[in-house]
Amino acid sequence: VGKSASITASFEILYMLGVGYLVGQLLGWSKMDSLFLGGILSISSTTIIVRAFDELGMKGKSFVSLVFGVLIVEYLIAILLLVLLSSVAA
């Protein structure tokens, strides 16, 4: 699932970064604050998703491995976002 998870996570993060940035700009926030909002919105909560799959009895479904792969790639990109946004803000 590495390739498809990487592509899916990249598009999802870029989309949510863009949406967060646009929402921040519409609210009159600075560009940096808007970027941080986009970064916050682009990271999903693995705990919530795993819990939801468990409660719905979906852990055995075929798409769950792709979702977990996407979440792992999101966390790797989140680390990069934290480093990049922190250094740009400083």
Residues written for the chain: 90
Instruction: Indicate the pLDDT class of residue 33, thresholds 50, 70 and 90.
Output: very high
Q: How confident is the model at residue 50, as a pLDDT?
A: 83
Instruction: Indicate the pLDDT class of residue 31, thresholds 50, 70 and 90.
Output: very high
From residue 63, give the alpha-carbon distance in Å to each of 12, 29, 70.
Answer: 16, 38, 11
